[in-house]
């Protein structure tokens, strides 16, 4: 596996070794030893999967402590633009974001540490998206920021009129209007 830091060094692109032949392909999507050697100790406790159609935007989500989560995300089929926003107060990259195309073909994964809001939009006709989290889902700690927060300014690479949001995501506020418990000094893994 190849581990590549992004413009926000704590957010890491992971590219697995893919072995293909006339029968198809094989890849190792996760290896605890390699992960710990390149990123650190993370104990993933839950795997999630979603299928969405073109224009579906899920995010920008995070969970508040003590149920904050790190995520390891990938697109199994289709194409998504995946986004991680630094919401750690005091961070040199506060309110900055990283966006990465994750596709069924490129097999890339993205590690999103604690202290980041996460979201993705589907750019293909449909997409199957899977991710690991290192803490349990806790609805009472569920939170997020508006997908179109002007101060963050994510370029979603899709026309706004094509974006489809859940009712909950449509009601999310900008980062400046929410109670934000994340600080740069805290451990992110």
| Domain span at 53 | 2-18+30-174
State yes or no: is 141 an active-site residue.
no
Q: Check 94, 97, 118, 131 and give the catalytic one.
A: 131
**This prediction's pTM:** 0.94
183 falls within a domain: no
State yes or no: is 97 an active-site residue.
no
**Cα–Cα nearest to 87, from 57, 58, 112, 56:** 112
Give φ, ψ of 166 to 5 degrees.
-75, 160
pLDDT of amino acid 189: 52
179 falls within a domain: no
Q: Check 61, 94, 141, 184 and give the catalytic one.
A: 61
Confidence bin at 180 (pLDDT 50/70/90): confident
25 falls within a domain: no
pLDDT of amino acid 69: 97
What does the longest C-alpha to C-alpha distance in the chain come to? 53
Which residues have a Cβ under 8 Å from the Cβ of 106 and sit 6 or more positions away? 15
Q: Do 58 and 50 touch, CB atoms closer than 8 A?
A: yes
23 falls within a domain: no
130 falls within a domain: yes
* 37-70 tens-digit pLDDT: 999 999 999 999 999 999 999 999 999 999 999 9
> What is the domain-level CATH number for residue 116?
2.60.120.10
* 2-31 tens-digit pLDDT: 999 999 999 999 999 999 999 999 999 999
């Amino acid at each position: 596996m190849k581990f590549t830091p992004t413009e926000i060094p704590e957010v890491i692109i992971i590219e697995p070794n893919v072995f293909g032949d006339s029968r198809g392909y094989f890849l190792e999507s996760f290896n605890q030893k390699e992960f710990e050697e390149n990123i650190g100790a993370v104990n993933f406790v839950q795997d999630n999967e979603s299928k969405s159609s073109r224009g579906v935007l899920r995010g920008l989500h995070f969970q508040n402590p003590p149920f904050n989560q790190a995520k390891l995300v990938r697109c199994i089929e289709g194409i998504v633009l995946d986004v991680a926003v630094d919401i750690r107060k005091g961070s040199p990259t506060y309110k900055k974001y990283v966006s990465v195309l994750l596709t069924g073909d490129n097999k890339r994964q993205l590690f999103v540490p604690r202290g980041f809001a996460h979201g993705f939009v589907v750019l293909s006709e449909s997409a199957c998206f899977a991710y690991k989290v290192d803490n349990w889902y806790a609805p009472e700690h569920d939170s997020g920021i508006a997908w179109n927060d002007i101060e963050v300014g994510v370029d979603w690479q899709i026309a706004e009129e094509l974006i489809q949001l859940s009712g909950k995501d449509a009601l999310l506020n900008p980062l400046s209007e929410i109670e934000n418990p994340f600080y740069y000094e805290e451990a992110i893994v």
